[in-house]
A and B are shown apart, each in its own frame.
Chain A
Amino acid sequence: MKAAIVLSSVVVLLAFSEAHGQPEGETVSGFQCVGINIPGLHLSQDDLRTGAGFPWMLDAPRDGAKAVGQVSGIIYIAWPPVVENGFLKTMAYDGKIGWLEQNAVRPLRRADGTTGGCSLRRRSDGRIMFHLEPGLGINN
């Protein structure tokens, strides 16, 4: 139940706005940026510096599935969110699809507490680059 509450808060709080300027690259739709859930995962500032304790995306929505890659502070999730068995559908920085425990994310916030998202584009080498709405940060 707690996980469901977390997810619904992501859905409700994530506010959209139009992309600000369009850097080169193909626009990627159907995904949004959220932040790693620093308090939920009990990550310290030192963990943020070293990357310790950051969870892994899996290739299937179940415990024990194969790891696709370790997430960073900014995480791309399917939008609208897709949840199966307590896992959120996600996309890695190289475009691979994976699944992440849903309590590992939270909305990106500004210093004043308002929330927002990002626009995504695929660079010519395949890397998915993000552009956050102004003022958002993973530590807010």
Chain B
Amino acid sequence: MESNCQNVGAASGSSAAGAFQMINSTYTADISGAVAYDPGITGSIVSGLGGQMDPATEAYAASYELRSDALLLQAKNVDDPTVLDVRAVYQFGAGVGPEVATADDSENIAQLTGLSAASLAANGLSSSSTVGQWRATVIAKLGSATANQSVLAQ
């Protein structure tokens, strides 16, 4: 979302890089998880943090993150999680992300998540932002069909 599908380097003060704009720690954990899940990809990925700037390699890490977050939502009884639901976990965390996925559009994100003003601003949100407004920004970036697509195969 943040990269507008461009393979861009990290901005000053952040390690978020590549087409999926994953920070170093998330990328490292997810690419390790992806390799453990399917050792067969080992030979086709760029090793180390250099993989962040290889879109195909980072896609494996991003896919693993999507899968992990969808499984977490299922464990919290959010059935058939969509890309929009998973984005809530990715953006707001495993603790409060599921709440965002089950909140009405009118709910205030700051009250729901407890995020500080600085954290909200870093996410392009303000103290008055609602869940519906956040959903609209994700849908505007991804398109409604993608945002509402199921993440896990049935």
**Which A residues are closer than 8 A to B by beta carbons?**
20-21, 23, 45, 47-52, 54, 68-74, 92-94, 96, 121, 125-132, 135-140
Contact = CB atoms under 8 A, between A and B. Distances in A.
A3 B140 CA distance: 47
Nearest to B110: A137
A96 B93 contact: no
A140 B113 CA distance: 11
B77 A50 contact: no
A34 to B, nearest CB: 13
Interface string B109-142: 0111010000000000000000000000000000
Contacts of B96: 48-49, 72-73, 138
Contacts of A121: 104
Contact of B78 (A20, A45, A50, A94): A94
Given A49-B94, A49-B96, A137 B111 contact: yes
B54 interface: no
A92 B102 CA distance: 11
Interface in B2-47: none
Given A48-B93, A129-B102, A129-B104, A138 B79 contact: no
A94 B79 contact: yes
A87 B80 CA distance: 28
B99 A69 contact: no
B154 interface: no
